[in-house]
């Protein structure tokens, strides 16, 4: 399936027409048919077009639906990718005269050594934020459900625990040096607070909105506000 959309140029035209005045994050990644060795070309292409229109840009290296994309999460592949992206990002900041934050989006299916390596890369390349996490390849908890073994990323409640665990691991490694955005299985205010307790500075909602509707946003705001109020007492 890959990133099932009509591409960055189509997206930018939509953004230009948008009347929304709040923050807009633009998520970029390689095409499904681009070899992983040439992935940086796709990211730079998207980065250049998104830069003047985005409040922040997400470098997605964790979608399980794009072939070999997760190969970019470790080793020299990640180092080379971030080096190329960050160099062009710095040039764009100079060209436009303003800075657009850059965040990295990772999978929940990471080993501790991968968390360590990614954390160091975030610091070395001065990446502004980390989104933890994308969807999971695990089927724990849904194995016996109809269609539970379908291919692709699993989102929603089943990913909540493992995504929070990975978030906590990154929080321990980064110690407040990189902004953390918690995402995965937030379907209540209490789940949003769990992300904050694990180290998130912000949260994102996706699948929970399908089941709970826009009222979920207010529930999360109230719960997180109550959490911080209690911390100040």
55 is an active site residue: no
CB 60 within 8 A of CB 27: yes
- C-alpha span between 105 and 132 (Å, rounded): 6
Strand order in the sheet with 202-204: 25-28, 56-60, 102-106, 129-132, 179-183, 202-204
Residue in this structure with the two tokens 């949260």, named with its chain if needed: 203
- C-alpha span between 92 and 77 (Å, rounded): 23
CB 154 within 8 A of CB 84: no
Q: Which candidate in 62, 63, 171, 219 is catalytic?
A: 63
Give the residues across from 179 on adjacent strands. Answer: 129
Catalytic residues: 63
């Amino acid at each position: 399936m890959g990133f099932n959309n009509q591409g960055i140029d189509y997206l930018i035209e939509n953004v230009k027409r948008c009347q929304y005045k709040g923050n807009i994050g633009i998520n970029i990644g390689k095409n499904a048919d681009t070899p992983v060795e040439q992935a940086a070309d796709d990211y730079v292409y998207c980065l250049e077009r998104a830069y003047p229109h985005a409040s922040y840009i997400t470098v997605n290296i964790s979608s399980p639906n794009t072939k070999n994309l997760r190969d970019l999460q470790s080793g020299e592949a990640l180092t080379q990718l971030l080096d190329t992206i960050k160099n062009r990002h710095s040039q764009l900041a100079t060209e436009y005269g303003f800075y657009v934050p850059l965040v990295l989006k990772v999978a929940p299916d990471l080993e501790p050594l991968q968390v360590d390596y990614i954390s160091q890369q975030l610091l070395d390349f001065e990446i502004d934020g980390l989104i933890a996490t994308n969807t999971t390849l695990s089927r724990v908890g849904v194995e016996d459900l109809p269609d539970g073994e379908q291919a692709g990323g699993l989102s929603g409640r089943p990913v909540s625990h493992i995504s929070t665990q990975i978030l906590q691991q990154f929080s321990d490694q980064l110690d407040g040096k990189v902004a953390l955005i918690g995402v995965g299985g937030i379907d209540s205010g209490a789940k949003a607070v769990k992300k904050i307790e694990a180290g998130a500075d912000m949260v994102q909602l996706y699948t929970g909105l399908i089941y709970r509707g826009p009222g979920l946003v207010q529930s999360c705001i109230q719960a997180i506000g109550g959490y911080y109020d209690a911390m100040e007492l």
